[in-house]
Amino acid sequence: MADSQTLVIAHRGASGYLPEHTLEAKAYAHALGADYIEQDLVATRDDQVIVIHDIHLDRVTNVASLYPGRHRDDGHYYARDFDLAEIQALASGERRGNDGETAAFPNRYPVGFGPFRIPTLREEIKLIQGLNQATGRIVGIYPEIKNPAWHRAEGVDLSSLVIDQLHDFGYRTKSDPVFLQCFDDAEVRRIRHDLGCPLKLVQLIGENSWDQADTNYDVLKTPEGLQEVARTVDGVGAWIQHLVDTAGVDGQPVSTGFVKSAHEAGLVVHPYTFQVEQIGPGFESLPEMIAWFVDTLGVDGVFTDFPDLALEGLGRT
């Protein structure tokens, strides 16, 4: 915590510069100096673990043109309905917005500019471990189990698949450079207490309205809730808005007390997501904003799409 370095966590890789969750974005995050690189994980029909943010393929691939008609009744193309070989034939790329066509972030890497494809967890860990050896700098991994209850209803135990792969790659103890994260509190408890996972665990905290999991975040983010969570996990990944109230009279954010409560419970705090497109009131740049969160609130790490700007905010450049 206070005696260790604030961690720069590359959110979906250096996703401010290259399409999220491509190996290129991960290599660039490593090169820029991130301490940890994030993987969002989803299972394919043949139970392979791939790195993609959504359980749907719609927003970051050409699935609709390559496999027309293979969507479900809700119109979405689910990764779970495709074998890995089919998914690896897709072109992936920069995220599109709600209209399904235009860029979610217009000033970032262009939509539709390949060549990229969706990697497996194995491929990504190999890349990061290879770069660790070649550079002599150990960058950690920060995998997230996406929608575990949904995956189980689909007949696959995603957490077990992931934990087994992490074990195979040498991530076996709490001191290894990995944080395993999930939004679902029941699954986090299962990972720790039923599956016996010894790794550092992070409980993600969202808003009930996001419908991420059957978890009551209103309870979880209270001081009492954080004390309870600390019986299972090592840290919390909280939304920036949980940490600050931006309604201060002069426009400067004011602490909600969340970080203090979490620290009192013995938890590290890694807020998400610091982006140049979302600079808060009272700040003129992302490095300035990140510096404030570290110096004033004492956060222990930051999820960011821009690892270089976070390092600048931390004075590590």
Which residues does the annotation mark as catalytic?
Answer: 11, 53
- Nearer to Ca ion by Cβ, of 124 and 144: the residue is 144
- Nearer to Ca ion by Cβ, of 24 and 144: the residue is 144
- Nearer to Ca ion by Cβ, of 37 and 286: the residue is 37
User: Closest approach of Cβ 250 to Ca ion, in Å?
Assistant: 33
Does position 81 interact with Ca ion (CB under 5 A)? The reply is: no
| 51 token code pair | 């790195």
Site for Ca ion in 204-223 (CB under 5 A): none
Site for Ca ion in 23-52 (CB under 5 A): 40
Q: Which residue has the CB atom at the shortest distance from Ca ion?
A: 144
Asked if the bond preceding 102 is cis, omega within 30° of 0, the reply is no
User: Closest approach of Cβ 150 to Ca ion, in Å?
Assistant: 15
Does position 144 interact with Ca ion (CB under 5 A)? The reply is: yes
Phi and psi dihedrals of 32, rounded to 5?
Answer: -75, -15
User: Closest approach of Cβ 234 to Ca ion, in Å?
Assistant: 17
Q: Is the distance from CB of 23 to CB of 14 less than 8 angstroms?
A: no
Residue 236: which H helix or E strand, with range?
strand 235-238
Q: How far apart are CA 147 and CA 137, in angstroms?
A: 32
User: Closest approach of Cβ 315 to Ca ion, in Å?
Assistant: 27
Q: How far apart are CA 261 and CA 190, in angstroms?
A: 24
User: Closest approach of Cβ 242 to Ca ion, in Å?
Assistant: 16
Q: Is the distance from CB of 203 to CB of 246 less than 8 angstroms?
A: no
In this structure, the number of other CB atoms found within 10 A of the CB of residue 82 comes to: 22
Q: How far apart are CA 195 and CA 145, in angstroms?
A: 14
Vertex 164 angle, CA 163 and 168, to 5°: 115
- Nearer to Ca ion by Cβ, of 52 and 291: the residue is 52
Q: How far apart are CA 161 and CA 83, in angstroms?
A: 16
Does position 94 interact with Ca ion (CB under 5 A)? The reply is: no
- Nearer to Ca ion by Cβ, of 105 and 283: the residue is 105
Phi and psi dihedrals of 145, rounded to 5?
Answer: -80, 110
Give contact residues for Ca ion (rule: CB under 5 A).
Answer: 40, 144
